[in-house]
């Protein structure tokens, strides 16, 4: 069962908005890079564990769900498939090159984008005056409000020790399954049909979101993520079916295994941050909550000088169960 979205154009979303905008760092996880796994001792300090529902692994308040060792991959992962930014930039000018002044403006825009200025979104921004045809699209699992609030609280506890990280606003948090890149609007119907078929043989399932980590390492974090500790097998199965279904429409297959994770933020200038590393170790036991995954969403990403704006185009239901977003 698929539901298409109609009505007025999207607007910028605030944290907690039920319209379910996509993460402001969507596409920042470019390059399908592998993560490295490393072990670590129990933390000496716990800068973020005093927040709601956070605890050290193995503490006495309730049984620990996570190991006290630090795994730099999202829980259940071998290597992480990150969504690429994709999409070629249009060329302009007599030789396919913009005028010199436009080149300087484009370079400044790219520098601002790499620094994560203003919004914390690190996708390559579209250069002003250079229109991109089609829809920038990706497939995602959207998070419940309660989970986004808990992750947002964890972000606030990390913010003082990671001022160089561009954080995702809580209302934009989601779990990316596949990035499609630029898609002609006329193909959306075929994509929704393919996603409907992929989802029909997967039953709705429960997922648990817990723990924080970093790619490529805690000591030199570039991407901060929240993990998934239950429901990973079903997510991997669904992602594989989505990948295969869209390959039938000509989309490239993902070369690396899918590993569920939620991107929280991206370092503007990756480097050593011992205080942040210690905070992430202390947050290994953070529980963000359980949710029922009853569908997947086709999302639209729109880039602007003020950042990215995400709109849910359609939702497909798992195993015939009605999706939780109507």
Q: Which of 6, 121, 130, 261 is catalytic?
A: 261
Pairing mode, strands 205-215 and 295-304 = unpaired
Domain ranges of the chain: 22-86+98-317
pLDDT for 133 equals 66
Secondary structure of 175-232 in the HEC alphabet? EEEEEEEEECHHHHHHHHHHHHHHHHCCCCEEEEEEEEEEECCCCCCCEEEEEEEECH
From edge to edge, which strands make up the β-sheet containing 223-230?
Answer: 165-167, 261-267, 223-230, 205-215, 287-293
pLDDT tens across 187-198, in order?
999 999 999 999
Answer yes or no: 6 catalytic: no
User: Which pTM value belongs to this model?
Assistant: 0.62
Residue 45 above 80 pLDDT?
no
Superfamily of domain 22-86+98-317: Cyclic phosphodiesterase (3.90.1140.10)
pLDDT tens figures, 249-300: 999 999 889 999 999 999 988 889 999 999 999 998 899 999 999 999 999 9
Between residues 120 and 2, the one the model is more confident about: 2
121 is annotated as an active-site residue: no
pLDDT at 37 over 60: no
Per-residue pLDDT for 239 more than 90?
yes
Nearest residue to 262 (alpha-carbon basis) of 79, 23, 18, 13: 23
d(CA 142, CA 123): 20
pLDDT of residue 50: 35
Min mean pLDDT across 62-76, 142-156, 165-179, 243-257 is at 62-76
């Amino acid at each position: 069962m698929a539901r298409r979205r109609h009505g007025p154009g999207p607007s910028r979303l605030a944290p907690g908005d039920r319209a379910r905008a996509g993460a402001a760092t969507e596409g920042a996880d470019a390059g399908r890079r592998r993560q490295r796994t490393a072990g670590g001792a129990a933390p000496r300090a716990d800068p973020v564990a005093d927040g709601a529902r956070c605890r050290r692994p193995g503490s006495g308040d309730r049984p620990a769900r996570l190991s006290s060792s630090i795994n730099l991959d999202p829980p259940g992962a071998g290597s992480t498939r990150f969504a690429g930014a994709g999409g070629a930039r249009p060329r302009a000018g007599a030789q396919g090159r913009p005028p010199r002044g436009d080149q300087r403006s484009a370079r400044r825009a790219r520098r601002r984008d790499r620094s994560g200025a203003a919004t914390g979104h690190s996708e390559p921004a579209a250069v002003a005056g250079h229109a991109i045809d089609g829809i920038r699209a990706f497939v995602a699992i959207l998070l419940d409000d309660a989970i986004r609030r808990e992750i947002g609280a964890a972000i606030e506890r990390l913010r003082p020790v990671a001022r160089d990280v561009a954080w995702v606003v809580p209302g934009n948090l989601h779990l990316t399954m596949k990035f499609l890149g630029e898609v002609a609007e006329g193909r959306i119907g075929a994509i929704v049909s393919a996603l409907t078929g992929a989802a029909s043989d997967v039953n709705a399932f429960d997922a648990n979101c817990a723990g924080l980590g970093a790619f490529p390492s805690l000591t030199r974090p570039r991407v901060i993520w929240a993990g998934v500790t239950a429901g990973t097998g079903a997510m991997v199965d669904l992602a594989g079916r989505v990948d295969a279904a869209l390959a039938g429409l000509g989309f490239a297959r993902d070369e690396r295994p899918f590993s569920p994770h939620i991107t929280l933020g991206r370092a503007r200038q990756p480097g050593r941050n011992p205080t942040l590393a210690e905070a992430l170790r202390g947050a290994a036991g953070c529980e963000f909550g359980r949710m029922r995954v009853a569908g997947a969403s086709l999302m639209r990403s729109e880039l602007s000088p003020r950042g990215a704006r995400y709109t849910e185009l359609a939702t497909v239901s798992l195993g015939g169960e009605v999706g939780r977003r109507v």
